[in-house]
């Protein structure tokens, strides 16, 4: 008889566990992370690189451009727009917009010039109080009433300009800042040739950077800009943060107007027209997304300086008038927005 064949036992399959990523995909993942870092660095440093290149070329072509006196002139003229753009950065980071800053800037200057006859304290407190009230109204209507920021700030733009005309009797009255007063010194004084407004703007940008990067308020600003619904589910104070950013935007615009009045020794009624567009352009050129959630105050400062250098360069050429600045600024804005879209599409998804 034949012996039965012995059956060899089959080893049991090992229990399924978490599979490790194939070795072939690891270089791809590392390459994607490297590409993301390079794209992020490009987005942050493109504007500074363009600014430095433009300054170097302009200094070679126009010897008067690279002088220290010209640098001082550029920084002083830029400081007022920079302060306004700082507040606009906070608003845009939350996904909003503030069209009222130009009129608020002019109103703050007129109120400061009118109040300067009683000293520097009223000259600063009055515009801050009135402009802060306008900002609080903007914030409450946007955050609490749920109205569109574009409509709300357009309405306060008209209201602030109307109040300005009422205070100045339809522009017929120009309030002068007393010569030699402490308030005039605030706008005209210098430290090593650089005006006080420049130092104030730099200090405010430093505080703004700390506020956005090192405080819960800054985290809320970025979260709201990324997704308002997600920020609400996380328990963040969405409404309060929105009110605060509009309040800060108007306060900064009013302060910039007061400093401008101190610099010019008068409250000029025609200033600030279109300033909101310049501020938005500087913020977007600096790398802040119009949809909110991404950007830096440092990028805004670079954007403001780039616009100022372009304007100064056009003045150096001589054969071009200031209207070309708007053309060049608009071209830069289109290029930056297209670049932002490309960079975010090219960024690898996790």
213-268 tens-digit pLDDT: 889 998 989 999 888 888 888 888 888 999 999 999 999 999 999 999 999 888 88
CA angle 104, 325, 259 (to 5 degrees): 30
Q: What is the pLDDT of residue 242?
A: 93
Burial class (CB in 10 A: 0-12, 13-18, 19+), 323: exposed
Residues in the chain: 350
- pLDDT value of residue 19: 52
Give me the sign of the Cα torsion angle 323, 275, 100, 131.
negative
Check if the beta carbon of residue 275 is closer than 8 Å to that of residue 102.
yes
Residue ranges of the chain with pLDDT lower than 50? 1-8, 10, 13-14, 18, 20-21, 23-24, 28-29, 349-350
The predicted pLDDT at position 39 comes to 52
CA–CA distance from 139 to each of 47, 127, 147, 247, 250 (Å)?
31, 18, 10, 7, 10
| pLDDT value for 129 | 95
What confidence score (pLDDT) does residue 1 get?
Answer: 45
Distance of alpha carbon 136 from alpha carbon 244, whole angstroms: 8
Q: What is the reported pLDDT for 55?
A: 83
At 350 the pLDDT is 47
pTM value? 0.83
């Amino acid at each position: 008889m034949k012996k039965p064949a012995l059956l060899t036992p089959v080893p049991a399959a090992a229990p399924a566990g978490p599979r490790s990523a194939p070795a072939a995909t690891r270089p791809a993942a590392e390459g994607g992370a490297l590409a993301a870092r390079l794209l992020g660095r490009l987005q942050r440093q493109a504007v500074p690189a363009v600014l430095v290149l433009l300054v170097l070329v302009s200094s070679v072509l126009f010897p008067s451009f690279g002088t220290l006196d010209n640098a001082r002139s550029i920084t002083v003229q830029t400081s007022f727009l920079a302060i306004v753009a700082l507040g606009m950065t906070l608003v845009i980071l939350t996904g909003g917009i503030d069209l009222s800053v130009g009129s608020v800037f002019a109103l703050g200057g007129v109120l400061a010039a009118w109040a300067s006859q009683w000293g520097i304290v009223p000259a600063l407190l009055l515009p801050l109080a009135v402009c802060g009230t306008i900002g609080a109204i903007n914030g409450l209507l946007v955050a609490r009433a749920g109205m569109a920021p574009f409509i709300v700030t357009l309405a306060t733009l008209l209201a602030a300009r109307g109040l300005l005309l009422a205070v100045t009797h339809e522009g017929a009255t120009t309030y002068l800042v007393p010569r030699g007063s402490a308030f005039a010194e605030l706008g005209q004084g210098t430290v090593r040739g650089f005006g006080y407004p420049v130092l104030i703007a730099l200090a405010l940008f430093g505080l703004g950077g700390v506020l956005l990067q090192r405080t819960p308020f800054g985290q809320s600003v970025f979260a709201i800009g990324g997704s308002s619904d997600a920020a609400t589910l996380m328990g963040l104070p969405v409404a309060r943060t929105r009110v605060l950013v509009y309040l800060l935007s108007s306060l900064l615009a009013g302060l910039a107007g007061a400093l401008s009045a101190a610099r010019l020794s008068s409250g000029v009624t025609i200033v600030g027209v279109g300033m909101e567009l310049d501020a938005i352009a500087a913020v977007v050129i600096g790398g802040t997304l119009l949809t909110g959630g991404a950007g830096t105050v440092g990028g805004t400062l670079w954007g403001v300086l780039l616009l100022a250098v372009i304007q100064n360069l056009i003045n150096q050429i001589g054969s071009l008038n200031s209207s070309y600045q708007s053309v060049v600024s608009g071209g830069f804005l289109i290029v930056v927005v297209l670049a932002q879209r490309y960079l975010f599409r090219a960024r690898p998804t996790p």
